[in-house]
Amino acid sequence: MTTLSQRQKGASTLPTYPEYRSLVPPLNANLHKGQGGRICIFGGSSDYTGAPYFSAMSSLRLGADLCHVICDEDAATAIKSYSPDFIVHPYIKIRAANAAQDKKAANDIWVHTFDDINSLLKRTHVLVVGPGLSRDKGMLQSAKHAIEVAREQAMPIVIDADGLFLIQNNPEIIQGYKKAVLTPNLVEFSRLCNAMNVDTEDEEAEQSAVQRLSQALGGTIVIQKGKSDVISDGQKVQIVDNEGGLKRSGGQGDILTGLVATSLAWGLAYEKEVWQHTHPVKQEDVAMTACFGACVINRECSRLAFEKHQRALQSSDVLAEIGPFFHLFYQKPRQNATWSQAIYG
C-alpha cells in the first residue's frame, strides 16, 4: 500500500494532515448556511449532462453548503432530474440565440445571459469551469465571460475538461491569475505545454514540467492527474501518491474538481476567520494545501470504491465513498496525525 512520504526527491515539503484539517469549517451552531461554501459549476451542454452532476455532487458530499449549476437550457431538465440538491440555472440559450431572427435579437439573448452570470457569481465563493462544457462556440464564449467576471471578483477558479481547451487556445484568460487551478490529465497537460512552449521531452523529472507550465502561466496552480498527482504553483512542487483505484471511468476527474472547489471555499472561509483558529497555515500556502487535501481524498475514495466494485466501478460508486470516508478522515485521527494515519487509520 503506497503512503504519502513527507519529502520526495525533487519535490517540496508536503502540507501536513493537521494543516489541511485546519481549513475544514467546524460543524457548530455559530455558522450559517453558505459559510461552508457556495460553489458554482459552469458546464452542462446538450450532449454532456453527467459531468456537472459529478462535480456538483462531490462538492456537496465533501461539505459545501450550496451548489449552483449554470448550463445550457437544453441540459437543465436532465441535470435537475439527477438531484434536487442542485440549484440549476439554464442561462445559456444556444438554441434560442441560433434561432433568433436577426443579429440584434441574438445579441440581446447573450447580453441577458451575461447579466445573469454576473448576478449569480456575486453570490458564490468558487467557480468551476469545464464539466460537460463542450466545444460549442456559445458555451465557450459564456465560459470565457464567467472566468473574466470571477477574476474581477478575485474568486478562486477551477478549470477542467473543455475549459482547458478554452485555456489552451486563449491562455491570456488566466495568465498570471494565481487563484486559478487547472486539473489536466496527461493528454490535456501535453496540449497545454505545447500551447505554452513548455518542453516535456527532456530527461528532467515529471514534476519539473508541471512546475514550468505553472511558471509559464504566471503562477496558476496546475494539478497534473496521473499515476501520482503532481501539483505546482510555479514555486513549490507537491506529489500526492496515496493509492487510488485502478479503474478509469468517466466522471472521476469531475469529482476531483468538486473536491478542489469545496476545499478552496473552505480556504476562503479560513482566511476570513469565519471561525476562530490559530492560523496554522500561512495565507500563501492555503490554496496549495486545499488542492493537496482534495487530491488525497479523491484518490482514497477511488481506492475504496475499486476494492468493492473492481471492473464494474462507476464514478457514482466513488461519490458514495466521500461522505463515509471523510467522516472517519476528519473525526477519528488525532489532530496531529500523519497523512497515512488519517487515511488508513
The tens digit of pLDDT for each residue in 118-154 reads 999 999 999 999 999 999 999 999 999 999 999 999 9
Binding site, residues?
132, 185-191, 225-229, 244-254
What is the pLDDT confidence band of residue 4, given thresholds at 50, 70 and 90?
low
What's the pLDDT at 335? 80
Which range marks the domain in which residue 123 is found?
Answer: 21-344
Unique residue bearing C-alpha cell 487510488: 244
| pTM, rounded to two decimals | 0.96
Residue 252 maps to a domain: yes
Is residue 232 situated within a structural domain? Answer: yes
Residue 7 lies in a domain: no
What integer pLDDT is reported at residue 202 of this predicted model? 64
Q: What is the pLDDT of residues 43-80, one digit of tens each?
A: 999 999 999 999 999 999 999 999 999 999 999 999 99
CATH number of the CATH domain containing 118: 3.40.1190.20
Question: Per the structure, how many domains does the chain have?
Answer: 1
Q: Is the pLDDT of residue 3 over 60?
A: no
Greater confidence (13 vs 108) lies with 108
Q: How far apart are CA 195 and CA 6, in angstroms?
A: 33
Feature table: binding site for ATP: 225-229, 244-253
Mean pLDDT score of the chain, rounded to an integer?
94
Does residue 1 fall inside a structural domain?
no
Cβ neighbours of residue 328 under 8 Å, at least 6 residues apart? 345
Tell me whether residue 12 is in a domain.
Answer: no
Q: What is the pLDDT of residue 131?
A: 98
Q: Which residues are annotated as a binding site for (6S)-NADPHX?
A: 132, 185-191, 254
Report whether pLDDT(6) > 50.
no
Q: Say if 99 falls within a structural domain.
A: yes
Using the 8-state DSSP alphabet, how is residue 129 labeled? E
Distance CA 326, CA 323 (A): 5
Residue 15 lies in a domain: no
Q: Would 71 be classed as within a structural domain?
A: yes
Length of the chain: 345
